[in-house]
């Protein structure tokens, strides 16, 4: 029995060492960029989750795919496919484009490019089952839904949400389309609303509900808690976060609106991105102009937000940002200063501490593999 126990202990220690080595393995980080200057497309970096350092070969980021202005990226749940918008208006009939890649190890192999159905696509997301993809066309004022094949390729559009037909007095700008439960929510900056659609094939889809924000708010992105009980909408134009909560009839009601800016800030600023920590305790949002990440604590029972801090991004024009898979770090893509900045995240307090930066031309989207 003693020999058997020694063998079991040795086996356990071996497995523990393997797990530690796995934890130490750097993570692949893909970076989407604007290509109107020196950038050429999607770049690949390695991130050390032990010390928060971005690792590169010969001090240069690796070009993973040469593609025009891949400003937003999405990866399939199985990590076998990556999708990128091309934020242009000249691909096909004044449209932007969506490009599909196969992921082999951490290398990108282009599979297909299709028209996005509208000009300047700015956001892309996959359904929970991974069988559909949504793309939001900012200038086109619409969103398209595609089916995803087993080979990763996209069908022609199976659903089309044309916001140009909803309000003739405003100019729609679809900025984010994402699944919430079994429905598709679309934030439209021009319509000052989040529109809710059934997830069904319909090339002339009509919204089943409209969640209205105040005039001139400019809803850009949103985040939800589990099952969508609380909806946090980031408003680009008036620099606020709006909290909406479902009532007993499952209808969203406005509950809270908080500024993302410091009370003494002077000048122009525009919100860009919003994320909730995995434990649901903290919400983060980026301010372009004030150039900060603002931090809110979330009351998990009521959904209410409480400002607890803000951190300068050590760059200019923070667009997209992301929390690394360990939750210990937050990385910011600073478009105008051409750098990615890394912050240590206090997982108990939610606060951020600047660590380091990596130079890269016009980074606008960060996505861990």
Tens digit of each residue's pLDDT (9 = 90 or more) over 138-188? 999 999 999 999 999 999 999 999 999 898 889 999 999 999 999 999 999
Q: What is the pLDDT, as a whole number, of residue 55?
A: 85
**Residue 314 within any structural domain of the chain:** no
**Residue 121 within any structural domain of the chain:** yes
Q: What is the pLDDT, as a whole number, of residue 7?
A: 44
**Residue 274 within any structural domain of the chain:** no
**Residue 320 within any structural domain of the chain:** no
Tens-place pLDDT, residues 76-112: 999 999 999 999 999 999 999 999 999 998 899 999 9
> Which ranges of the chain have pLDDT less than 50?
1-10, 15-22
**Residue 293 within any structural domain of the chain:** no
The CATH number linked to 86 is 2.130.10.10
**Residue 95 within any structural domain of the chain:** yes
Q: What is the pLDDT, as a whole number, of residue 58?
A: 54
Q: What is the pLDDT, as a whole number, of residue 128?
A: 95
**Residue 126 within any structural domain of the chain:** yes
How many domains in the chain? 1
Which domain, by its residues, includes 77?
Answer: 67-212
Cβ-based neighbour number of residue 94 at 10 Å: 13
Lookup result for tokens 């995240």 = 345
Q: What is the pLDDT, as a whole number, of residue 59?
A: 55
């Amino acid at each position: 029995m003693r020999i058997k126990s020694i063998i079991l202990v040795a086996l356990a220690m071996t497995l523990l060492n393997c797990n530690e080595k796995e934890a130490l393995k750097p993570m692949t980080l893909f970076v989407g960029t604007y290509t109107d200057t020196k950038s050429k497309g999607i770049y690949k970096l390695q991130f050390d989750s032990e010390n928060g350092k971005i690792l590169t070969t010969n001090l240069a980021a690796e070009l993973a795919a040469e593609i025009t202005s891949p400003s937003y990226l999405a990866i399939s749940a199985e990590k076998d496919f990556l999708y990128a918008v091309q934020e242009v208006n000249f691909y096909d009939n004044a449209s932007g484009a969506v490009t599909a890649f196969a992921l082999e190890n951490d290398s990108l192999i282009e599979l297909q490019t299709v028209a996005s159905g509208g000009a300047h696509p700015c956001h892309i997301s996959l359904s929970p089952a991974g069988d559909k993809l949504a793309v939001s066309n900012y200038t086109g004022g619409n969103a398209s839904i595609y089916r995803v094949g087993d080979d990763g390729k996209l069908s022609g559009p199976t659903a089309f949400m044309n916001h140009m037909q909803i309000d003739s007095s405003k100019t729609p700008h679809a900025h984010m389309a994402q699944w919430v439960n079994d429905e598709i929510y679309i934030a439209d900056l021009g319509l000052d609303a989040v529109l809710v659609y059934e997830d069904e094939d319909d090339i002339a889809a009509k919204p089943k509900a409209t969640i209205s924000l105040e005039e001139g708010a400019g809803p850009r992105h949103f985040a939800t808690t589990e099952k969508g009980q609380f909806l946090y909408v980031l408003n680009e134009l008036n620099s606020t976060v709006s909290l909406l909560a479902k009532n007993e009839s499952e209808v969203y009601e406005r509950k809270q609106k908080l500024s993302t800016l410091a009370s003494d800030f002077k000048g122009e600023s525009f919100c860009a991105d919003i994320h909730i920590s995995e434990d649901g305790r903290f919400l983060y949002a980026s301010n372009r102009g004030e150039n900060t990440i603002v931090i809110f604590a979330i009351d998990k029972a009521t959904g209410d937000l409480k400002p607890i801090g803000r951190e300068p991004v050590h760059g200019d024009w923070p667009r997209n940002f992301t929390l690394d898979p360990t939750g210990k770090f937050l990385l910011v893509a600073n478009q105008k200063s051409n750098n990615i900045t890394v912050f240590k995240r206090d997982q108990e307090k939610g606060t951020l501490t600047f660590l380091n930066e990596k130079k890269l031309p016009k980074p606008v989207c960060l996505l861990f593999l």
